[in-house]
Amino acid sequence: MRAGRPGPPGDPLSLAQWQREIEQAGGGRLVVVRVETDRAENVLRIPAEFPGRGLVRNFLLDDSFVAQLVRAHALSLNATGEDGLFHFILLNMALAVDWEGLEDSLLAHEFGHAWLHVQGYRSATRLDTPCLATIAGDIVQHVLIREEAGRRGFSAGAYSRRNLESWLDAMESPSHTAPLDPCRRLQALSMWMDAALGEPDWPRRSRFLALFDSRYAALSDPARRLESFIAGLNLWDRTHYEAALHFTLQLLAGVLSQTPGIRL
């Protein structure tokens, strides 16, 4: 654990207890929302009743937000309405097979995002460019989430490793030749950072990093610049955290401005 984060590792705690801590620290409510996809009508559906439903509904009327949600396993939202502050975790049930057997690991990961928010480690505000703010925040916050989840006894890394395995399988498949769209390019950098900084014992780590360089040559330099900058910081220090977030936003914006041509 990096210097600056108080508290020794403790006994494994339940997700329910972590939820109570988040709610007590932030003064709001944490609500897990399962978002279903009605493929016949091509619409997203949420439960008929739950606290803060109107806030979630408003987000689901935003085409840019929906475009991010449908390609993600989950997204975390912090929103305030007439009933107060809410920390929503939206689970994209259309992709539930991807985290089958690892839902607690996925939820621990998303609880980590909410916990960082109430501790004052805020992510970037939403920007006009789809995915930029979300993925920049992920790249920086995942470092702290891994440490905090591990301190609490959660195996959040099991979910992360499955994602990396899926990316590696895709990179190894010769049938995947479609160009990476802008969000996917940024997500590739996020996967690189998870592998480089978060999975030192993963048996396929070296293979992932080497194949990344081969398949995504245009992303190789930005990936190493990110790794070098963030690995040298104590992200629990808020000044370092803000510097890392600013650096990451600027670098990802630069990646998006480059001529497309990266293929999987």
pLDDT digits 0-9 by tens, 23-56:
999 889 999 999 999 988 889 999 999 999 999 9
* Statement: the pTM of the whole predicted model exceeds 0.75: yes
Give the least confident one: 6-15, 108-117, 189-198: 6-15
35 found inside a domain: yes
44 found inside a domain: yes
pLDDT at 177: 60
**What is the arithmetic mean of pLDDT over 197-218?**
91
| CA distance between the termini of the chain | 35
Q: Per residue in 83-134, pLDDT tens?
A: 899 999 999 999 999 999 999 999 999 999 999 999 999 887 665 666 899 9
174 found inside a domain: yes
263 found inside a domain: no
Give the least confident one: 125-134, 144-153, 154-163, 190-199: 125-134
pLDDT at 6: 40
Please state the domain count of the chain: 1
Structure tokens that stand for 153 in this block: 């006894």
Query: Considering only CA atoms, which of 219, 200, 131 is closest in space to residue 161?
Result: 200
Of 2-11, 177-186, 216-225, the range with the highest mean pLDDT is: 216-225
Identify the bridge partners of residue 112 per DSSP, sorted by sequence position. Answer: none
pLDDT at 131: 86
Q: Given a cut of 90, is residue 141 above it in pLDDT? A: yes
pLDDT at 264: 31
Identify the bridge partners of residue 263 per DSSP, sorted by sequence position. Answer: 179
Instruction: Give the max Cα distance, the chain.
Output: 52
| 129: containing domain | 15-257
Enclosing H/E stretch for 139? helix 132-151
Q: Given a cut of 70, is residue 72 above it in pLDDT? A: yes
Who's near 59: CB < 8 A, 6+ residues apart? Answer: 65, 77, 79
DSSP 98: G
Burial 119-152 (b: 16+ CB within 10 A, else e): eebbbbeeeebbbbbbbbbbbbbbbbbbbbbeeb
264 found inside a domain: no
pLDDT at 262: 39
4 found inside a domain: no
9 found inside a domain: no
101 found inside a domain: yes
Tell me the pLDDT of the chain averaged across its residues: 88
